[in-house]
Structure 1
Amino acid sequence: MSTLTGTRHLVRLILRRDRVLLPLWVLVLAVLPMSYATSFFELFPTAAERAAYAAGTARNPSIVALLGPVYGESVGALTAQRGGFLLVIIALASLLTVIRHTRTEEEAGRRELLGGTVLGRYAGLTAALLVTYAADLLLGLLTAAGLVATGLPAAGSLAYGLAGALVGVVFATVGGLAAQLTETAGGARGIAIAVLGAAFALRLAGDAAEREWLSWLSPLGWGPRIRAYEGDRWWVLALPVALSALLAAVAYPLSVRRDLGAGLLPPRLGPATAGESLAGPFGLAWRLHRGQILWWSVGFGLLGLILGGAAKAAGSSVEGNPQLEQIMTRIGGASGLAEAYLGATLSLAGLAAAGYGIQAALRMRSEETDGRAEPLLATGVTRTRWLLSHVLFALVGPAVVLAVTGFATGLTYGISVHDVPGELPRMVGAALAQLPAAWVLAGLAVLLYGLLPRLAGVAWAVLAVCVLLGQLGAVLELSQWLLDLSPFTHTPQVLADHWHATPLWLLTAVALLLATTGLTAFRRRDLPTT
Structure 2
Amino acid sequence: MSTGAHGAPDHAGGLATMLGITARIQRRNALLWVLVLGASMVGTAAGVASLYDTPAKIYSYAAAVTTGNALLAINGKVEGIDSLGGVIQDEFGFMASFLLPLLGIALVARATRREEEAGRLELLLGGRIARHEPTLAALLVATATITVTAVLFAVGLAVSGVAVAGSILYASSLGALAFVFAGLAALLAQLTRHARDVYLWCVMALAASYVLRGVGDTTRTWVGWLSPLGWAEKAAPFGAQRWWTLAIPVAVGLAFGGAAVALAARRDLGSALAGGGVGPQHASPALRSPFGFAAWLHRPAILGWLAGGVLLGGMMGALSKQLLGAMAGNPALAQAMGIAGGQPLDGFVAATQLYLAVIAAGYVVQAFGTLRAEEADGRLETRLSGTLTRIRWLATHTLVVLGGLIIVVLVSSLVLGLATAVSVGNLAELGPTLASGLAYLPAELVFAGLALALYGWRPRLFFIAWAGYAVATFIAFLGPGLKFRQWVLDVAPTTHVGNPPLGTAQPAALIVMAVIALVLAAVGCAAFRGRGVPQG
**8 A contact 1:148–1:157 mirrored in 2:** yes
CA apart distance, 1:504: 0.8
| C-alpha contact (below 8 Å) 2:47/2:482 kept by paired residues | no
1:3-42 CA-to-partner distances (Å, cap 9, x unmatched) read 2423334333333333332222233333444455556556
- Residue 431 of structure 2: which of 419, 425, 430 is its match? 425
> What is residue 308 of structure 2 aligned with on the other side?
299
Distance 1:220 1:302 in 2: 16
Q: Which residue of 2 aligns with 1:516?
A: 522
TM (normalized to structure 1)? 0.90
Deviation of 1:453 (Å): 2.1
1:81 Cα shift?
A: 3.8
Query: Which residue does 1:237 correspond to in 2?
Result: 246
Please give the per-residue CA displacement for 1:341-394, whole angstroms capped at 9, x wherever unaligned. Answer: 432342232222111111112222111121222222122212221101111133
1:118 to 105, 123, 128: 128
Aligned pair 1:280/2:289, yes or no?
yes
Aligned to 1:360: 367
Residues 91, 171 of structure 1: 8 Å contact kept: yes
> Which amino acid in structure 2 is aligned with residue 227 of structure 1?
A
Counterpart residue number, 2:106:
96
The residue number in structure 1 matching 2:382 is 375
For the Cα contact (< 8 Å) 2:70–2:323, is it kept in 1? no
Determine if contact 1:182/1:188 at 8 Å carries over to the other structure.
Answer: yes
The Cα of 1:205 is off from its aligned counterpart by: 2.7
In 2: Cα distance, 1:77 partner to 1:215 partner: 19
Q: Aligned letter for 1:133?
A: T
* Distance in 2 (alpha carbons) for counterparts of 1:325 and 1:41: 20
Q: C-alpha separation between the residues in 2 aligned to 1:135 and 1:128?
A: 11
Flag the 1:403–1:334 CA change in 2: closer, same or farther, 3 A. Answer: farther
Change (3 A) 1:325 1:62: closer
1:386 to 366, 369, 393: 393
Who is 1:249 aligned against?
258
Q: Is the Cα–Cα contact under 8 Å of residues 452 and 524 in structure 2 kept in the other structure?
A: yes
Moved more, 45-54 or 152-161: 45-54
Query: Taking structure 1 as reference, are residues 268 and 262 closer, same or farther at Cα in structure 2, changes over 3 Å only?
Result: closer
Match of 2:19 in 1: 11
Which of the residues 407, 416, 435 maps onto 2:441? 435
Contact 1:335-1:497 at 8 Å conserved across structures: no
**1:30 equivalent in alignment to 2:38:** yes
- Does the aligned pair in 2 maintain the 1:112–1:260 contact within 8 Å? yes
Would you say 1:65 and 2:73 are equivalent positions? yes
- In the other structure, the counterpart of 1:153 is 163
Quick one: distance in 1 between partners of 2:220 and 2:336?
A: 32
Alpha-carbon separation, structure 2, partners of 1:218 and 1:187: 21
Identity value in percent: 37
**Cα distance change on mapping 1:69 and 1:486 into 2, 3 Å:** closer
Alignment of 1:320-469 (within 5 A): 334=341, 336-420=343-427, 422-469=428-475
Q: 1:55 to 1:286 in 2, by over 3 A?
A: same
Residue 414 of structure 1 deviates from its aligned partner by 2.6
Aligned-partner residue type, residue 68 of structure 1:
G
Q: Which residue is 1:488 aligned to?
A: 494
Q: CA deviation at 1:109?
A: 0.6
> 2:4 is matched with which residue?
none
Residue in structure 1 matched with residue 216 of structure 2 by the alignment = 206
* Distance in 2 between residues matched to 1:266 and 1:416, nearest whole Å: 40
Counterpart-to-counterpart distance in 2, 1:323 and 1:354:
31
Contact 1:4 1:119 in 2 (8 A): no
Structure 1 residue 101, shift from structure 2 partner: 0.3
* Superposed displacement of residue 64, structure 1: 1.9
Greater shift in the superposed pair: 373-382 or 246-255: 246-255
> How many corresponding residue pairs?
526
**Structure-2 residue corresponding to 1:501:** 507
- 1:298–1:474 distance in 2 versus 1, CA, 3 Å: closer
Q: Deviations over 1:180-239 (max 9, x none)?
A: 223332333344444434433432332232212x22232221111111111211111112
C-alpha displacement of 1:521: 1.7
CA contact (8 A) 2:115 2:121 kept: yes
- Structure 2 residue identity aligned to 1:115: L
Single out whichever of 246-255 and 192-201 deviates more from structure 2.
192-201
What SS is found at the alignment partner of 2:78? coil
Alpha-carbon separation, structure 2, partners of 1:222 and 1:108: 36
Give the Cα separation in 1 of the matches to 2:461 and 2:220: 47
Corresponding residue for 2:139?
Answer: 129
Q: Partner residue of 2:5?
A: none
Quote the residue 1:87 is aligned against.
97
Contact 2:453/2:524, CA 8 A, preserved across alignment:
yes
Output the CA distance in 2 between the equivalents of 1:54 and 1:477: 19
Output the aligned Cα RMSD: 2.8
**Using the alignment, how far apart are the partners of 1:313 and 1:143 within structure 2?**
34
Measure how far apart 1:62 and its partner are: 3.8
CA distance change for structure 1 residues 479 and 519 in 2, over 3 Å: closer, same or farther?
Answer: same
Quickly say closer, same or farther: Cα 1:87–1:491, change in 2 above 3 A.
Answer: same
SS at match of 2:20: helix
**CA offset digits 1:271-327 (Å, max 9, x no partner):** 333323224211111111123212321221110122233445556656798888668
Task: Give CA-to-partner distance per residue, 1:23-76, whole Å, 9 cap, x none.
Answer: 222333334444555565566666676556545644544432232223233332
| Partner deviation per Cα, 1:424-450 (whole Å, 9 max, x = no partner) | 111122222221111111111111111
Structure 2: segments with no counterpart, 5+ residues:
1-8
Amino acid at match of 2:159: A
The one-letter amino acid paired with 1:232 is: Q
Q: Which amino acid aligns with 1:105?
A: E
Matched, 1:259 2:268: yes
CA shift at 1:522, angstroms? 1.3
Contact 1:53 1:317 in 2 (8 A): no
- Aligned pair 1:171/2:172, yes or no? no
Contact persistence 1:374–1:527 (CA under 8 A) = yes
CA drift at 1:105:
0.9
